[in-house]
Amino acid sequence: MSFPNVRQSIGLITIPEMFERSCTLYKEQIAIMTKEGDEWISLPYKFLYEKVTLLAKYLKDEIGLKKGNKVAIIGQNSPYWVISYFACHWLGLIVIPVDTRLKTPEIKFILKDSESVVIIAQDTFLEELLKIQRELPTLKHIISKQPNKLNITSLQDIFQKVKTGIPMEKVFLEDYAVILYTSGTTGISKGVLLSHKNIISDVDAVYQTIEYGPNDRFFSVLPLHHVYEQTCGLICPIAGGATIAYASSLKSKVLIEEMRYVKPTVMLTVPLLLEKIVEGIIRKVKESGILKKLIFNSLRITARNLDKLFKGKISKTLFRNVRAQLGMENLRYLISGGAALPRWVSFALEEMGFPILQGYGLSETSPVITLNPPFCPRNESVGLPLPYVEIKIHEPDNNGIGEIAIKGPMVMVGYYQNEEATKEVFTEDGWFLTGDMGYMDKDGYLYITGRKKSVIITSGGKNIYPEEVEIALLRSPYISEVLVIGVWDSDKNKEDVHAIVYPNFENVNQYFEKRGIKNPNTNDLHELIHREIVTYSSDLANYKRVRKFTIREEEFPKTTSMKIKRYLFQQQKIK
Tens digits of per-residue pLDDT, 116-133?
A: 999 999 999 999 999 999
Same fold, 13-29+43-171 and 460-570: no
Evaluated on CA atoms 174, 179, 183, 188, the torsion sign reads positive
- Assess contact for 26 and 214: CB atoms under 8 A: yes
pLDDT digits (tens, 9 = 90+) for 295-334: 666 766 676 666 666 556 677 777 888 899 999 999 999 9
What is the reported pLDDT for 77? 97
pLDDT digits (tens, 9 = 90+) for 4-49: 899 999 999 999 999 999 999 999 999 999 999 999 999 999 999 9
Domain ranges of the chain: 13-29+43-171, 460-570
What is the reported pLDDT for 551? 96
pLDDT digits (tens, 9 = 90+) for 361-403: 999 999 999 999 998 999 999 999 999 999 999 999 988 999 9
Q: Say whether pLDDT at 224 is over 80.
A: yes
- Residue 226 pLDDT grade (very low, low, confident, very high; cuts 50, 70, 90): very high
What is the reported pLDDT for 306? 67
What is the reported pLDDT for 567? 78
Q: Say whether pLDDT at 184 is over 60.
A: no
Q: Say whether pLDDT at 70 is over 80.
A: yes
Q: Say whether pLDDT at 1 is over 90.
A: no
> Bridge-partner residues for 180, per DSSP?
192
Q: How far apart are CA 89 and CA 483, in angstroms?
A: 40
Could you give the C-alpha distances from 553 to 260, 482, 546, 556, in angstroms and in order?
Answer: 34, 12, 20, 9
CATH 3.30.420.80 fits 460-570, yes or no: no
* Tally of CB atoms within 10 A around 439: 18
DSSP of 304-360, one letter per residue? HHHHHHHTTHHHHHHTHHHHHHTT-TT-SEEEE-SS---HHHHHHHHHTT--EEEEE
For residue 59, give the DSSP letter. I
- Measured distance between the N- and C-terminal CA atoms of the chain, rounded to whole angstroms: 47
What is the reported pLDDT for 574? 44
* Helix 466-473 with 522-536: angle, nearest 10 deg: 110
Q: How far apart are CA 364 and CA 411, in angstroms?
A: 6
**Quick one: 13-29+43-171 is in which CATH superfamily?**
ANL, N-terminal domain (3.40.50.12780)
What is the reported pLDDT for 416? 96
Regarding predicted confidence, which is higher, 414 or 304?
A: 414
Sheet holding 356-361, edge to edge: 39-44, 30-36, 243-246, 217-220, 266-269, 333-336, 356-361, 368-371, 384-385
DSSP strands (E only) in 37-82: 39-44, 70-74
Q: How far apart are CA 243 and CA 234, in angstroms?
A: 10
Mean pLDDT of the chain: 91
pLDDT digits (tens, 9 = 90+) for 288-297: 777 666 766 6
What is the reported pLDDT for 315? 74
pLDDT digits (tens, 9 = 90+) for 338-361: 888 888 899 899 989 899 999 999
What is the reported pLDDT for 575? 43
- Residue 518 pLDDT grade (very low, low, confident, very high; cuts 50, 70, 90): confident
What is the reported pLDDT for 342? 86
What is the reported pLDDT for 493? 65
- Residues 463-487 have a mean pLDDT of 90
- Assess contact for 384 and 375: CB atoms under 8 A: no
* Tally of CB atoms within 10 A around 309: 8
Burial 247-265 (b: 16+ CB within 10 A, else e): bbeeeeeebbebbeebebb
* Helix 104-114 with 126-133: angle, nearest 10 deg: 50
Element (H, E) at 108: helix 104-114
- Residue 187 pLDDT grade (very low, low, confident, very high; cuts 50, 70, 90): low
Q: Say whether pLDDT at 206 is over 50.
A: yes
pTM for the model: 0.85
Quick one: what percent of the chain has pLDDT higher than 70? Answer: 92
Single-letter amino acid code for the residue at 106: E
Long-range contacts formed by 492-497: CB under 8 A, 24+ apart:
493/459, 494/458, 494/459, 495/456, 495/457, 495/458, 495/459, 496/547, 496/548, 497/456, 497/464, 497/469, 497/544, 497/545, 497/546, 497/547, 497/548
- Assess contact for 351 and 315: CB atoms under 8 A: yes
